[in-house]
Amino acid sequence: MSKLKKIPKFKTEAEEREFWSKHDSTEYIDYSKAKRALFPDLKPSTKSISIRLPESLIEGLKVLANERDVPYQSLLKIFLAERVKKELVQKK
């Protein structure tokens, strides 16, 4: 294997992103020595949104959530995630 290039120091994350978007990481990193990493506490980034829903829909969600002993907002996220996944799979 040829000698690896030295990874430069970056002043900002943006600078680092720009660098890696234009360079091949295999010239800088020996992946044969890589070890699998686990991040059990890593949470996906979330973004707050506002959405207007009919009161009857919210009440229905609250009933279903209460039956499952989860907050209704969490149940709504589960329902949305399941539907989006289903729609994306059907597109393939």
pTM above 0.75, yes or no: no
Q: What is the DSSP string of 10-63?
A: -SSHHHHHHHHHHS-GGGT--GGG------TT-------------HHHHHHHHH
pLDDT tens, position by position, 44-62: 888 999 999 999 999 999 9
- CATH number assigned to the domain covering 47-92: 1.10.1220
Show me where the domains of the chain are located: 1-34, 47-92
Report whether 10 contacts 19 (CB < 8 A): yes
pLDDT greater than 60 at residue 22: yes
Report whether 50 contacts 40 (CB < 8 A): no
pLDDT at 13: 94
pLDDT greater than 70 at residue 1: no
pLDDT at 43: 86
Two structure tokens written together for 90: 């059907």
pLDDT at 10: 95
